[in-house]
Amino acid sequence: MTFEEDVVELVWVFRVIRRWLWLIVGCVLLTTTSAFAISSRMPPVYSASVTLLVQVAPGTGASDYSAIRASELLAGTYSQMLTGRPVLEAVIAGLELEETPGALAERVEVKLVPDTQLIRLSVEHTDPTRAALIANAIAEAFIAQIQTLQVERYADSITSMQEQIVELSTLIEETQAAIDALSTPRTTQEQTELAHLETILAGYRNTYATLQQNYEQMRLTAAQSTDSLVVVETAQVPKRPVQRRTLYTALAAVVGAMVAVGVAFLLEYLDDTIKTPDDVSQTLGQGTLGTIGRLAKKEEELVVVAQPFSPVTEAFRVLRTNIRFSSVDRPLRTLLVTSPGAAEGKSIAVANLAVTMAQAGLSVVALDADLRRPRLHQLFDLDPSREGLTRALLEGSLNGRLHPPLLRLKRLRVLPSGELPPNPAELLGSQRMQELLHELAQQVDVVLIDGPPVLPVADAAVLAQAVDGVLLMLYAGHTRRETARHAVESLRQVGANLVGVVLNAVPTHKSSYYYYHQGYHEDESGRRKHRLRRWKGPLAAVQRLFGRRRKAN
């Protein structure tokens, strides 16, 4: 991805955020207010902590580093066992609590102190005394449980040795009694038996001594291998509750902002309407000759007359200039203005564009070729009963049918639609229509034609073949991309000369694309000055920074 593409993506991201800033701010305010209200009604919570030290018992033959490492690993194991069910059940039974082990576990938090052999156990409770009592009870119960488990490792071996020693003592006593009975042997057989018993007794005594030595060694080993787990800091009764209202409010604000931003980008992704010239270029592959701002009042549809110094009026002047320079080799004498669907502002654009061209010194005819829903006579305040295009086509004459609007513009004439025929497509596609357009083109500089929409009816496609160029009007935020594509394809199929696209009703607030690319204002002397309104946010700083680096490289 190139640097320019990165900047475009960054511009799009900031534009989406600014467009949906009201949603983001609203969600943040809603979540923070809710979190603050809920946390304010919650009872105060107190936290008591007890600290345990874990050490490997001395005498195991391990080096100091190994012992410390073993203690750290053992501390990690103990931290998982501290909230085990046996420990919590012992605490509940000992303190006669009315909680289940699961509910008690939710109050307990166990943390390892980094780079140490310490375990810190914290208990939260609405009663500060009970919080400290439970924390100390859990530590004591766990120490007792660990000691019991460690002693049980050698219990079976020690018990087995004790049983062998007792059994061997019995055999020694029995053998000694038999030897005492044969203390004075009389026969050779008795002497032999006495010698045999003495040999057996000596073996028993040797075995007894060995067992006794192993027994003592086992007891010593069991005592030395018992890991040390002690309380180094008991839990004290907390005096102040845990202050979490600010934390909850901050987390709620972050979550609210993240959810709102996610929803904003989701809505932007699901929105398939055309809103900016970049959308026009990416979707249709066409250039945008002009961006017309949204009219503030419906009564001022002829805005170039009502507000001659407004940004919308200046946008029509820019459009006029772009049209004149869009086809230098072949002047556009007849220009059809159409749109994909109805109510996309083509009639208003034709009326205002005709006035600006007449003000620039061009002789213009505004022709209303929408024989289904005409509007030019309303915009120019003409009598709807006057004869117009329909009668001119039927009689083959323009005499008396070009009406001057009530604007005192000598170079502007209007040919309204007149009566509505039952066969508009046949009239617009007739030879007489072509002859009429040719005749008008010989009399004036420009013939602006307000045509019907492209997709609902075939009138515009038929009329597009008889004109020098076609101007496609799109309603920003209303015209869908697929609809615009179908309209362009329909015009191309009939060989129309699509001059370009005009984006209509672009939002005129200062954060919109319209004001970002063209902004006009009046100074105190009344002179109009063109000014590019740059975004003074972080985006401009990033662009300047990377721009300087690219120049340096």
pLDDT at residue number 530: 37
- Interacting residues of 136 by C-beta distance below 8 A, sequence separation 6+: 50, 231, 234, 235
Rounded to two decimals, the pTM is: 0.57
Q: Which long-range contacts (CB under 8 A, 24 or more apart) does 135-139 make?
A: 135/48, 135/49, 135/50, 135/235, 136/50, 136/231, 136/234, 136/235, 137/91, 137/94, 137/95, 138/50, 138/82, 138/87, 138/88, 138/91, 138/108, 139/50, 139/52, 139/231, 139/234, 139/235
Rounded Cα–Cα distance for residues 310 and 332 (Å): 27
Please name the amino acid found at residue 206: N
Q: Which helix (H) or strand (E) holds 125?
A: strand 118-125
Rounded Cα–Cα distance for residues 355 and 312 (Å): 13
Look up tokens 């007739």; give the residue.
Answer: 430
Distance of CA 532 to the CA centre of its chain: 31
From 115, 162, 169, 123, select the one nearest 142 (Cα to Cα).
123
Each domain of the chain, given as residue ranges in start order, spans 46-233, 274-522
Q: Tell me the CA distances in angstroms from 501 to 216, 339, 344, one per residue in order.
A: 100, 9, 12
pLDDT at residue number 297: 67
Q: Give pLDDT tens digits for 85-140.
A: 888 889 999 888 888 988 888 889 998 888 788 889 999 988 899 999 999 999 99
Rounded Cα–Cα distance for residues 145 and 504 (Å): 78
Q: What is the dihedral of CA 7, 13, 16, 20, to 10 degrees?
A: -140
Tokens of 277: 């010239």
Q: Which long-range contacts (CB under 8 A, 24 or more apart) does 312-318 make?
A: 312/508, 313/352, 313/356, 314/518, 314/520, 314/528, 314/530, 315/290, 315/291, 315/514, 315/518, 316/290, 316/292, 316/349, 316/352, 316/353, 316/356, 317/356, 318/290, 318/518
Q: Which class for 323: exposed (0-12), middle (13-18), buried (19 or more C-beta within 10 A)?
A: buried
| CB-CB contact of 396 with 430 (8 Å) | no
From 419, 321, 407, select the one nearest 366 (Cα to Cα).
407
Show the low-confidence residues of the chain (pLDDT under 70): 1-8, 56-71, 153, 221-228, 243, 297-299, 328-329, 406, 508-553
pLDDT at residue number 418: 87
pLDDT at residue number 55: 73
Helix-helix angle 3-19:538-552, to 10 degrees = 170
Q: Which helix (H) or strand (E) holds 110?
A: strand 108-112
Rounded Cα–Cα distance for residues 359 and 365 (Å): 13
Rounded Cα–Cα distance for residues 100 and 197 (Å): 66
Tokens of 431: 């030879």
Rounded Cα–Cα distance for residues 143 and 140 (Å): 5
Helix-helix angle 245-270:3-19, to 10 degrees = 110
pLDDT at residue number 413: 92
Tokens of 443: 């009399």
Question: What would be the CATH architecture of the domain defined by 274-522?
Answer: 3-Layer(aba) Sandwich (3.40)
pLDDT at residue number 122: 93
Rounded Cα–Cα distance for residues 327 and 528 (Å): 28
3-state secondary structure of 372: coil
Rounded Cα–Cα distance for residues 353 and 447 (Å): 11
